Amino acid sequence: MIDAMTPSGPVRLVIFDCDGVLVDSERIAVRVQREVLAGMGWPLDEGEIVRRFIGRSAQSIGAIVEEQLGDGAGARWDEWFHRRHREEVDAGLPLVEGIADALDGILPHVATCIASGGDHVKMRHTLGVTGLWPRFEGRIFSSTEVARGKPAPDVFLYAAERMGVDPAACVVIEDSRFGVEAARAAGMRAFGFAGGLTPGERLVGPDTTVFHDMRELPKLLGFAA
């Protein structure tokens, strides 16, 4: 076994976000988000949707929609968005490019789990469609299980607790500004993937390594052959 290092010692747990890190679903989410919000009377362009929503939990987005559009809008958004998202995923959902190679280089060396703003039904669907569910089954945690979604650290701290690992020995793989902020707030080192929709400059910050190719991840974590 190869020991990767955090500033406080060896890495004992690698925590993956799901959307945009494992499965390339953020592009679908943005497209569906534009459609749904425009239909509800709140048209936003792609950049604004990425800035406002990517990395947030469904509960947080629903609350924002409710505040913007009024009573009952959050529930209508939730129903419409998740129905259309499921339809789009069923039509074809790829893995994030290079993630299969990255996982092959990481999973033999260290404990792993998923901690996502998505709910368990959505993750079971996206991970099932892409064949990743068996690689993480039993080690998948959702913001629906904690009080606050990202950028609060709750879901990452919950994942570390459930996995029996000190937060200081965890690293987080994220693709959103809210996600890397949550990792930092949890006292965990963040690896910000800038190969998706969020520009790399939005991921930069303390204890954060920004990278653009998932195939680089094992080496960045210290698990290179």
* pLDDT, tens digit, 9 for 90 and up, residues 10-58: 899 999 999 999 999 989 999 999 999 999 999 999 999 999 999 888 8
- Separation in Å, CA 39 to CA 66, 92, 129: 15, 23, 28
Is the bond preceding 43 in cis, omega lying within 30 degrees of 0? no
**Structure confidence at residue 2 (pLDDT):** 40
What are the tens digits of pLDDT across the range 197-213? 899 999 999 999 999 99
**pLDDT tens digit string along 90-135?**
999 999 999 999 999 999 899 999 999 989 999 999 999 999 999 9
Where would I find the beta strands (DSSP E) of 100-219?
111-116, 140-142, 170-174, 189-193, 208-211
Q: Which residue has the higher pLDDT, 1 or 74?
A: 74
Mean pLDDT computed over every residue of the chain: 93
Average pLDDT over residues 66-94: 94
Contact 193, 20 (CB under 8 A): yes
- Which whole number is the average pLDDT over 64-87? 94
Round to whole Å and give the CA distance between 219 and 43.
42
Percentage with pLDDT > 90 across the chain: 88
* Per-residue CA distances from 156 to 45, 48, 116, 221 (Å): 30, 26, 9, 18
CA distance linking residue 210 with residue 141, whole number of Å: 24
How many angstroms separate the Cα of 33 from the Cα of each of 47, 71, 220? 12, 19, 33
Q: Are 97 and 214 in contact (CB under 8 A)?
A: yes
Please name the residues in contact with 38: beta carbons below 8 A apart, sequence gap of 6 or more.
Answer: 44
> Is the confidence at residue 9, as pLDDT, over 90?
no
